[in-house]
Amino acid sequence: MGKIKAEFHIHTRYSKDSILNKYFILLICKIKKIKLIAITDHNEIEGALKYKKFLKKFNIDVIVGEEIMTKKGEIIGLFLYEKIKPLLSIDETIKQIKKQNGIVYVPHPYDEKRYKTVIDKEELNHFKSKIDCIEIHNGRNIDEIFSEKQEQIQQKLNINPIIGSDAHTFIELGRNYIEIDYVDLNDLKKNFVQIIKTAKFNKKKCIKFTHTLTKFSRVIKMIEKGEFNELFRIIKRNGKKRK
C-alpha cells in the first residue's frame, strides 16, 4: 500500500467537550484519505472501541487510546484495551499504560491557555525515559509560539516527536496528520517508535473558532445529561470573570 496518512489525538462524542460522531469521522477520513486514526477521548475508551469496529468496515484503522488526566496534567495512552482511571499519579498512569503494552504519548507539553492539562518540564524530565513520544505541534495551539515552545521542550528532553490533531470538531479533521509506511496495527504497535521517527509531519494552524464550538459542545452535553446546576455554576463563574 506504500505511504498512508495517519492522524493522532482525536476526540469524539464520548469526550465531554466534543459531539463528533462516527459518520463525520468516516466522511472526512474518506475525503482527506486518512487511513489510520488514534481516538483518544478524555478518560474514556468506549468510543474508540466502538468506532474501531465501525470504521474497519470502511478500511480505516483505529488505534484505541485515552487522554488521561493525571494529578499533574494529561497523558495519552495508545493501543489500550482497558480504560485507565483518571487522577492517578503520573508514575502510576504510565505504569498502567505499560501494563497494557501501550505507548506513552505526551500531548501539548506547552500551552498557556490550557495550562491545567500540561505536565510541567520538571515532571517530563523526571519521566522522560518512560515516554515514547511527545507532541511538537498540537492542532489546537491558538498561538504559533506554543508549537515552537513544544518543539524546544522535545529537543531538550530528546524524546521522539509527534504531532497531534486534537480534533474535537469535523472541521479540524484531516489537517494535522503524519505520513508513514503502511503496516498492520500489530506491527505498528511493535515498531511504533521507529516508524514515527521516519514519518513526515503535515502541520496546519489552529482554527481558533473551534475553541468556541467546543464550549457549545460542552453546554449541549450538560443539557443532555440534565447537569443544570453545573451549567449555571459555570455561567455564574464566567460572568464574574468578565466584571
Question: What pLDDT shows up at residue 78?
Answer: 98
Q: Is the pLDDT of residue 118 over 80?
A: yes
Hey, what's the cell of 24?
A: 463525520
Q: What is the pTM of this model?
A: 0.93
| Mean per-residue pLDDT, 157-186 | 96
Residue 87, Ramachandran bin (φ over 0: left; ψ between -120 and 50: alpha; else beta) = left
What gap in Å lies between CA 191 and CA 182, rounded to an integer?
Answer: 12
The per-residue pLDDT for range 43-97, each reduced to its tens digit, is: 999 999 999 999 999 999 999 999 999 999 999 999 999 999 999 999 999 999 9
What gap in Å lies between CA 31 and CA 178, rounded to an integer?
Answer: 16
Question: What pLDDT shows up at residue 243?
Answer: 55
Sheet-wide strand order for 61-70: 161-164, 133-138, 103-106, 73-78, 61-70, 34-42, 3-10, 177-181, 200-202
Query: 177-181 and 3-10 as β-strands: parallel, antiparallel, unpaired?
Result: antiparallel
The secondary structure of residue 167, as a DSSP letter, is B
| Mean per-residue pLDDT, 205-230 | 85
Where do the domains of the chain lie? 3-206, 208-243
Q: Is the pLDDT of residue 240 over 80?
A: no
| Mean per-residue pLDDT, 128-138 | 98
Question: What pLDDT shows up at residue 238?
Answer: 63
Domain 3-206 has CATH 3.20.20.140: yes
